[in-house]
Amino acid sequence: MKTTILLRRALYAIVLVAIGLVGCEGELDIYSIDAPSDLQARVDSIAAAKAAKDTGDTTFLNIATAIVGAEDNSAAWYTAFSDYFTVPIGQKLVLKFENYGAGVNNWNNWNLALANVADRDADEYAEYFVLRADAFGWGNENFDLGVVSQNYPDLDGDGDIWNDFRQIMQGADVTIEVDFSVTGYVFVTATGVGTDGTELIMTYNQPVTGAQEVSAFLICDGSHFVMDNAFLLPSEITAIEDASPVSLAITGAPATVEIGNENFWGNAVATVTYDDGSSAEIDSADLSFNVVPDMTTVGQKTITVAYSKTKQGEFGPAVSTFYNLDVINAVTELEITSMPEITTYYFFNEEPIIFDTEGLEITATYSDGGTGVLDNSVLQINGIPAVAGAQDFEVSYVGAASTVTATVPLTLIKGIDQVGYTDKTTPWFTEFSDEYNVPSGESKTVKMYCYSNEINNYHSPVVILRKADLTEYAGLRMDNFGWGDGYPAATLTNDWNFDVFASNINGSYIEITVTNNGDGTANTRYDVTYANGETHFQEYAGVTVDSSDLNFALVLEGAYLVIVE
């Protein structure tokens, strides 16, 4: 229907231009139009000139891609894009379009990316942020999800705004404003009006340091958009509204400090949260330490920290917090009194492996003859050399006068492949395993070890069921969550304890089995053994697929996999 409307509009424009051209040369013959051979080129030229013209404060931009993404909403994430739209500083970009999505997941709608250049393949390309229609996003070090705000309603009163959101966004008229203020901030306001008249508004702002122009574009994810128009206006923002601090948090403070060492701050980081929802790291020079601890005596000390500046640096009411540390005598010896949970590491790439201290207990002997268990955070631990075989891995304590060490016996085994970055910073949907084919009536099992940063449940492997041409049936996470056209038919079972799920992913041994049932359905099962020996499973039964064309691949984020079989 939408393609037909666009074609009708284009044909109507051609007829009007043809009439205008003939009329200029002579009397119109109502029975025939002697159209010149370059009519389409002239129409395109006129359209482009009209689109690019500046009408006072408004500069209309040409739209080359009128329909973004496949109209059946089959476009996978980061595969279908709108045109690039450049926004100079002091200008506001306005995009107007109709939004359509698969309706399965909240993110099957529009996604807005803001980048430094209009070329995703450029060496210098970098994204400032990506915003999703469902008030979620990610970005560079300046991105702050806490600044995203929305007014999404619960129309049916069931306590879930997202079922209403998905329905409202289907066919919604969307206006996205990207205001690149002379203050150096970008302000985004996205307004969606559903076919029932319900208005959804989301806002966000972020500093864009040093840039004189930015590039914006839309991304499909199980969605598509019918572009209406795009234009630039002068920026409407000349000043940034200030915000007051509401809380202060300290992370990374030393757990122990040797007697005589006055540095009770160490490598700690202070993060302040403001009343606009944003947060920022604060230099320790801007903090007030209301109670300076006595570092000349052994024992536990409490450090009280305060901060009293607004977001714009004005002084105001202070917020405060505290942390504790132990002042200890000099350490003369280390002894391993409990081995870490992981003593065998699987690897494939040559990068140093991150050592996991879970379960490790180090007992220190002090200069006065006493002993005590050291907090692992005070130990100096380097990466494990990626060399197959047995090795004695050193952990150290660096004191004021000397460094003492202890060794942990480890075994390293080389796998057959790796998916993801060894430093556990793998971005979502960027690193994939090999493609595995599953013939009708057969099963395929892949065995691996997962090394995760353990921040979120989904920093673990994800199975993507798809065709040979990469058209997806379903995405099936290890933590009882999925998406895709084939997913709603699935029956989910598992025996997870989600209270400790994320904290047990690292070092887990995982067997993933995909079974092609041969009847238009497939099953996927995760069999997981934690590093502590606990076993668990996750199963998806009856996912809708084409049994004659079933492949799968593994993808993940915040983790990496070492394939062993």
Q: What are phi and psi of 555, to 5 degrees?
A: -145, 160
Residue 19 lies in a domain: yes
Identify the weakest region by mean pLDDT among 47-51, 214-218, 485-489, 517-521. 47-51
Q: Three-state SS for 63? A: coil
Tokens of residue 394, six digits: 């050193």
Q: Where are the beta strands (DSSP E) in 116-166?
A: 127-132, 137-139, 149-150
Residue indicated by tokens 């840039």: 211
What is the C-alpha separation between 561 and 349, in angstroms, rounded? Answer: 11
Of the residues 234, 256, 279, the one at which a domain ends? 234
- Can you tell me the mean pLDDT for 250-269? 89
Nearest to 144 by CA among 202, 189, 206, 188: 206
Predicted local confidence at residue 565, as pLDDT: 94
In a domain, 37, yes or no: yes
DSSP letters spanning 504-522: G-TTEEEEEEEEE-SSSEE
Longest pairwise C-alpha distance within the chain: 111
| Mean pLDDT, residues 6-18 taken together | 41
Higher pLDDT, 227 or 50: 227
Confidence at residue 295, expressed as pLDDT on a 0 to 100 scale: 87
560 burial via Cβ count (<10 Å: 0-12, 13-18, 19+): buried
Q: Which of 35-49, 179-193, 228-242 has the highest mean pLDDT?
A: 179-193
- pLDDT given at position 13: 41
* 3-state SS track over 467-487: CCCCCEEEEEECCCCEECCCC
* Alpha carbon distance 565, 562 (integer Å): 9
Do residue 305 and residue 194 come from a single domain?
no
Work out the end-to-end distance of the chain between its first and last CA atoms, rounded to an integer number of angstroms.
Answer: 49
Q: What is the pLDDT of residues 362-420, one digit of tens each?
A: 999 999 999 999 999 889 999 999 999 999 999 999 887 789 999 999 999 999 999 99
Examine the pLDDT at 11 and tell me if it is beyond 70.
no
* 465-484 residues labelled b (16+ CB within 10 A) or e (exposed): bbeeeeebbbbbbbbbebbb
What is d(CA 498, CA 507) in angstroms, rounded to the nearest whole number?
A: 17
My answer on whether 407 and 423 are in the same domain is no
Asked if residue 43 is part of any domain, the answer here is yes
Cα distance between residue 550 and residue 467, in whole Å: 5
Give the mean model confidence (pLDDT) for residues 226-248: 91
The proportion of the chain whose per-residue pLDDT surpasses 70, expressed as a percent, equals 90
Give me the percent of the chain exceeding a pLDDT of 90.
75
- The DSSP code sequence of 362-378 is EEEEETTS-EEEEPGGG
pLDDT level of residue 9 (50, 70, 90 thresholds)? very low
User: 239 in a domain, yes or no?
Assistant: no
User: Is 199 part of a structural domain of the chain?
Assistant: yes
The reply to whether 240 falls in a domain is no
Which is more confidently placed, 505 or 8?
505
Q: What's the sign of the alpha-carbon dihedral 74, 75, 77, 83?
A: negative
Condensed to tens digits (0 to 9), the pLDDT of residues 74-88 reads 998 999 999 999 999
Segment 100-132, tens digit of pLDDT = 999 888 999 999 999 999 999 999 999 999 999
Tens of pLDDT, residue by residue over 283-315, are: 989 999 877 788 889 999 999 999 999 988 889
Alpha-carbon distance of 326 to 255, in angstroms, equals 6
370 part of a folded domain: yes
pLDDT, tens digit (0-9, with 9 covering 90-100), for 181-230: 998 999 999 999 999 999 999 999 999 988 999 999 999 999 999 999 99
Q: Which CATH number is 381's domain given? A: 2.60.40.3630
Question: Which is nearest to 223 in space by CA: 114, 313, 98, 308?
Answer: 98
**62 and 197 belong to one structural domain:** yes
Q: Are residues 204 and 264 in the same domain?
A: no
- Say how many domains are in the chain: 5
Structure confidence by residue, pLDDT tens digits, 425-442: 998 888 999 999 999 999
Residue 281 falls within a domain, yes or no? yes
Kindly state the DSSP code that residue 81 receives in the 8-state scheme.
B
Query: In the prediction, which pLDDT does 463 show?
Result: 98
Which of 368, 398, 414 is the last residue in one of the domains? 414
Per-residue confidence band for 56, with pLDDT thresholds at 50, 70 and 90: low
**CA-based torsion, 456, 134, 225, 123: positive or negative:** negative
With beta carbons less than 8 A apart as the criterion, state whether 161 and 191 touch. no
229, 84: one domain:
yes
> Looking at residue 291, what is its pLDDT?
74
Q: Are residues 73 and 207 in the same domain?
A: yes
Could you tell me if 260 and 348 lie in one domain? no
Q: The tokens 């009006």 sit on which residue? A: 193
Query: Where does a domain end: 234, 254, 287?
Result: 234
Confidence of residue 15 (pLDDT cuts 50, 70, 90): very low
- Same domain, residue pair 218 and 97: yes
Residue positions counted in the chain: 565
Q: pLDDT tens, 491-512?
A: 999 999 999 999 999 999 999 9
pTM over 0.85: no
Mean pLDDT, the chain, as a whole number?
89
Confidence of residue 27 (pLDDT cuts 50, 70, 90): very low
Distances (CA, A) of 551 to 70, 222, 440: 22, 19, 11
Does residue 269 share a domain with residue 211?
no
In this structure, are 398 and 494 located in the same domain? no
Q: Does 224 or 2 have the greater pLDDT score?
A: 224
Verify that 109 and 221 share a domain, yes or no.
yes
Looking at residue 55, its pLDDT comes to: 53
Q: What average pLDDT score do residues 516-532 get?
A: 97
Which range of residues forms the domain containing residue 22? Answer: 1-52
pLDDT at 516: 98
Q: Which residues pair with 178 in a beta bridge?
A: 93, 188
Integer Cα distance of 252 and 340 in angstroms: 21
Confidence of residue 34 (pLDDT cuts 50, 70, 90): very low
Question: 2 and 82: one domain?
Answer: no
